[in-house]
Amino acid sequence: MSWFSTNYEKVVLGAAIGAALGLAYLGWSKHGSVETDFSIDLRGRGNNQTAVRDADLIPQALASLKMDHSWLQALDMDRPVDLFTGIPLFIKSSAPDEPIDLLKDAPVHPPIPNIWWIQNRLDPGYADTLNRDPDHDGFSNVEEFKAKTDPNSARSLPSLITKLMFVKEDSLTWVLRPGYGLDGSFPIVYEDSKGGANKAGAAEMIAPGTLFFSKGVMANRFKLLGSEVRKELNKKINIEMEQMIVRIEDQRPNKKGTVYELPAPLSDQRKNDYRQYDRTAIFSLEALGLNGKEFKVEENTTFALPPSNPNKNYLVKAITPESVTIEFYNAAGDKKTLRINKGRQILMPE
């Protein structure tokens, strides 16, 4: 058996001790070069803290946060400068090298003067800026300018009547037909264009001063005032003949006091000569987000704008299939009468 085999454990132990001593020496020899290898001062600065690159700038940053950073209005001579660019917004089409001075030159968007855009802090740099609506109240910039209202406030509005659209007429055609009477009382038949019908027959003839019909269509709407005999020209034979005329008063709120004079009896052949209308206008207010929302107003009835307003300052004076006539008082207290054509907002003075 060789010496190595006999002393194997001793050899291994000695090698391990030697390796440990070598590593210890290597660590000791590199201790002084850490700062060079890692560029860090392990001793730190102040209170023995580890140094950080540019740490001395932190106090300067904190001091900057406490400074007044308010932006001050720049001035060019006596005129404030609100733009952060030197590129002119407008140039003359006839001279592209010449910028337009909004305070001195002709209006960029006639009829609005340039100063109006500046005073209202609006950007005139759009081709459609006349028709833009910055406060979303349904009125364009040019409408607000003409009305001398604030284009940036939805509470400052031009007259809402200028945005009233007459959509269409929704009317009821009807006729009352008295029959042969007895002692001043008459049977009366009602019929209309929507299929409505009512009747007071010979067994329940209407006496003067009485409301009719007691129930059903048009219940208690009409009142028989009385009757009289008149001479009328019979056009068929061109001879004057005696004719019984019945007088009936309308009790509907918007027609109260209207009196209809009807021949008794009124035949089928002549009923179209005595037809009447309950006319209703269908409107929409093209502003305040109400565009396309329809509402109805009967003839000779007041209404409000917008419809939810409790103050009903407008009166529908007359309605035809093609137009509606409206009366109202303007801000100066003057009574105005306007006609609005069907499907349009164009107003025409009566």
Please write the tens of the pLDDT for every residue from 276-306. 999 999 999 999 999 999 999 999 999 999 9
Q: Both 188 and 331 in a single domain?
A: no
Residues 6+ apart with CB under 8 A from 284: 164, 165, 167, 290, 291, 292, 293, 294, 295
Q: Both 267 and 312 in a single domain?
A: no
The predicted structure's pLDDT at residue 236: 76
Please write the tens of the pLDDT for every residue from 32-66. 554 555 454 544 455 555 567 777 788 888 888 88
**pTM passes above 0.75:** no
- Between residues 189 and 51, the one the model is more confident about: 189
Number of domains comprising the chain? 3
Q: Both 267 and 294 in a single domain?
A: no
Q: Both 265 and 285 in a single domain?
A: no
pLDDT > 70? residue 87: no
* Domain end point (choices 245, 276, 307): 276
> Domain for residue 17, yes or no?
no
Q: Which domain holds residue 183?
A: 173-276
> Domain for residue 233, yes or no?
yes
Q: Both 180 and 270 in a single domain?
A: yes
> Domain for residue 95, yes or no?
yes
Q: Both 183 and 253 in a single domain?
A: yes
Give which of 250, 226, 259, 229 is closest to 241, Cα–Cα: 229
> Domain for residue 339, yes or no?
yes
Q: Both 272 and 179 in a single domain?
A: yes
One-letter identity of residue 73: Q
Q: Both 165 and 284 in a single domain?
A: yes
Neighbours of 141 (CB within 10 A): 24
> Domain for residue 301, yes or no?
yes
